[in-house]
Structure 1
Amino acid sequence: MTTRVMRSDEWADPPKPVQREVLTEQPDTPQDRPPVLFVPGYGHGAWAFAQHWLEHTARRGFPASAMSLRGHGGSGADPDARLRDYVHDVTQVAAGLPKRAVLVGHGAGALVVAMALARYPARAGVLTAPVFGGVSTALGLLRRNPTGTLPGLFGGRVSLRPAQLFSRSLPAKEAQSYTARLQRVPAGAQRQLVRRQEPETPVGVPPVLVAGSPDDRIVSASALEWVARRYGGSPLLFPGMGHDLMLDARWQEPIDAILDWLEKLPS
């Protein structure tokens, strides 16, 4: 992996400014810990972390924020958004936090975080159920959900099923209500995931943790291993869970493991 110093294309054609939704929870007792910024994946908004992980992280003593990428949740619309626009959003929000933040991304949001790490000197990075794109990811979605995936290859909406996102342990009504909240992703940003993305080297080489489930119906076990190897480690696995770790029935297990890992990092 390498890091580019010159980004003339971004200077010549800067991302469109949009209003960004950021939800925040603070610990009851202030502690000397880095803020944690949660970045949701495609179709999800800050609400996906506000459901469980945001408050739980604050209870564990970490200032916690969750943002919505442009066109998602309560953030401003941008139908022409691309990955670089999402990366811009993350770096801008992170730069506004009082301390160097820990960036936690989920799904395609993990790819956005991985790309942001090359621009922002994060305290650490956490990539959960990372979607780095590629033909194998697209084919896997097509095989499991052809009618919901095929329109996405032609600029239409990808419609995911609850069974692709959650384990059977999550009550069906809950799974359906979360799935119903997923939003349409701009065609350009969606098409970028057909090709496997190769993020640049993080600035300052922060510690990076990769976490996911071997039973994920979107991210294969081999894809998890591939991402983890890029950052010099092995993935932290949660068998029996679905793709949306932060909303599934056993949501507390992965966030506690992530926070335990953060607590062990040297100051």
Structure 2
Amino acid sequence: MAQDPTPVVFIHGLWLHATSWGPWLDRFRAAGYAPIAPGWPNEPDTVAEARAHPEAVADIGIDDAADHFAAIIATLPEPPIIVGHSFGGLLAEKLMGRDLGVAGVAIDPAQIKGVLPLPLAQLRAGLPALGNPANLHRAVSLTKQEFRFGFGNAVSEQESDELFDTWTVPSPARPLFQAAAANFVLHSQAAVDTDNSERGPLLLISGLEDHTVPDVVTRSTLKQYRDSTAVTELRQFEGRGHSLTIDSGWKEVADAVLDWLADKGF
């Protein structure tokens, strides 16, 4: 009897819509997986709707999102592979720490509790949300220039602008505040069970030109797993920024993930 395809759950980060995973879904489906890309809690179904109703996602926090995706995973026929980008990467790590996935991939993952480096580029990339304390309870949008710095700095200005026009949506600022304060909060929602040695393998991916999650942050994240005997690996991509999942070079990253999964027996 043919084995059912392994489910894959794709989780996007802030300022992108779930439909931005579309090409990845096609690629993984063609490779024999059963992929889905659900939105965050209350996320409208389309980019246009999300832009028209920013209040729908205002005040959503990390645990709200983690519990939302955990509930979706519970409906699947078997534990999935979990792939996340940016804050979706943090959520992938968090869900893997809870043993909810057979394998995980965290692409340019937002910093978890315990990660100390805070480069100036990362501070600048976070200012659209963190610059106003009142944004804690709001959904915040990026300008085209802010997207260019935080996401599209490693592609042409024309491509960055096209990506902005196609995929950007307002996103809750609360997760950024939670991550920024994580090392000063005892029970931070940005905490991940990095000591779990029973979880499946985890791949961290870093774009070396990323401003939003600089490579030094991802390397520091890798060090947080030093007390776990579970497989945790890092793959770095030269010349790539935070847009690496949606820009013209996305296939290189997707195929690297597929190769890694095949190597791990998935």
TM-score by length of 2: 0.76
Deviates more, 1:85-94 or 1:68-77: 68-77
| Counterparts in 2 of 1:153 and 1:236: CA distance versus 1, 3 Å | farther
Letter in 2 for 1:198: A
| Counterparts in 2 of 1:125 and 1:137: CA distance versus 1, 3 Å | same
Is residue 2:77 matched to residue 1:98? yes
Is residue 2:38 matched to residue 1:59? no
Consecutive unaligned residues in structure 2, runs of 5 or more:
51-55, 183-189, 227-231
Q: CA deviation at 1:118?
A: 3.2
Is residue 2:179 matched to residue 1:193? yes
Whether contact under 8 Å (1:44, 1:72) holds in the other structure is no
Distance 1:48 1:62 in 2: 18
Aligned counterpart, 1:128: 107
Is residue 2:20 matched to residue 1:48? yes
Match of 1:151 among 110, 121, 131: 131
| Counterparts in 2 of 1:254 and 1:187: CA distance versus 1, 3 Å | closer
TM-score by length of 1: 0.76
Distance 2:103 2:130 in 1: 36
Distance 1:138 1:183 in 2: 25
Consecutive unaligned residues in structure 1, runs of 5 or more:
1-29
Letter in 2 for 1:188: R
Aligned counterpart, 2:160: 175
| Counterparts in 2 of 1:205 and 1:215: CA distance versus 1, 3 Å | same
Aligned counterpart, 1:6: none
Distance 2:250 2:158 in 1: 17
Distance 1:191 1:139 in 2: 16
State how 1:117-266 maps to structure 2 within 5 Å.
117-132=96-111, 136-137=117-118, 139-143=120-124, 148=128, 151-155=131-135, 157=140, 159=142, 160-170=146-156, 172-180=157-165, 181-196=167-182, 197-201=190-194, 202=196, 204-231=198-225, 233-266=232-265
| Counterparts in 2 of 1:118 and 1:163: CA distance versus 1, 3 Å | same
Distance 1:207 1:47 in 2: 26
Letter in 2 for 1:107: S
Taking only the aligned residue pairs, the percentage that are identical comes to 23
- Aligned CA RMSD, in angstroms, stands at 2.8
Match of 2:10 among 31, 38, 55: 38
State how 1:106-125 maps to structure 2 within 5 Å.
106-125=85-104
Deviates more, 1:129-138 or 1:217-226: 129-138
Distance 2:110 2:20 in 1: 17
Letter in 2 for 1:238: F
Q: CA deviation at 1:137?
A: 4.3
Q: CA deviation at 1:192?
A: 0.7
Letter in 2 for 1:105: G
Higher helix share: 2
